[in-house]
Structure 1
Amino acid sequence: MQIPIEHGKRIPKIDEDFNSLAEHVRQIAETQRRHTAILERHTVYHQEHRAELAAMRSELADTRAHMDLRFTALEDDLVGVKTDVSGLKTDVAGLKTDVAGLKTDVSTLKTDMAEVKGTLAVILSRLPEQPAA
């Protein structure tokens, strides 16, 4: 099948095909612009979130360092407290020894007082009675 060609005139089928092709190209270009805009928005979104994530990681690292320092200080304090408790236990043991010694001394004093009372009773019994004035 041949299309009749008249010089100086446009061929309607070619015009129709060209217009259809131009419409498809325009639609493709519009779709591409929309997709490009979406990609740009997503790129900005990801960049913002990447920056936020980097800031969060940095903050987390700072927090970890701070907590490590605090835990180290607490561990040092715990060692000091354990040392203090050990010293207090030694002091308590010394006090118990002192109390035991004091109990022995009190017992000895009671024995001595009983002997003194006995001696005084003997001395008083040997004294002559004096008349009451």
Structure 2
Amino acid sequence: MSIPIEQHQHAEHRRIPKIDEDATVVIVQVGEIAAIQHKHTAMLERHTVYHQQHRSDLTGLRRDLDDTRAEMNTRFSALDDDVAGLKTDVAGLKTDVTLIKDKLEVILSRLPEQPVA
């Protein structure tokens, strides 16, 4: 069964506006997608800047922490040296006290006994 030419032309005329309408919808949707992509790109750029700043801050904090750690290690080392020196001094004092005690005992033993009044 063949379609008469008049009906065929009529169908062609109806398809062209539909194609135009579909093309318009596609163009609008592509524009919307481009706008969303632009928005996402801006968000990613802001995030990248924030990330770089955050990384820079963390690098600075790590550097500060390393400096503080080195200073604390130096102080603890000096404290350990001071404690060792103090222990040596205390041992020397104990020896001196023992010597003084021994000398006092000798001196006291040589003194004549005095009667208790």
TM score, norm. by length of structure 2: 0.83
Structure 2 gaps, min length 5: 1-7
Q: Which has the higher contact order (CA 8 A, sep 6+)?
A: 1
2:71 is the counterpart of 1:70:
no
2:12 is the counterpart of 1:4:
yes
Structure with greater helix share of residues:
2
User: Hey, what's the Cα distance between the residues in 1 that align with 2:83 and 2:63?
Assistant: 30
Structure 1 gaps, min length 5: 114-133
Matched length:
106
How far is the alpha carbon of 1:4 from its aligned partner?
A: 1.5
What is the root-mean-square deviation of aligned Cα atoms in Å? 2.1
Q: Segments of 4+ in structure 1 off by > 2 A?
A: none
1:92 aligned residue: 97
2:110 is the counterpart of 1:110:
no
Cα deviation per residue 1:29-58 (whole Å; 9 max; x = unaligned)? 011011111111111111000000000011
How far is the alpha carbon of 1:5 from its aligned partner?
A: 4.4
TM score, norm. by length of structure 1: 0.74
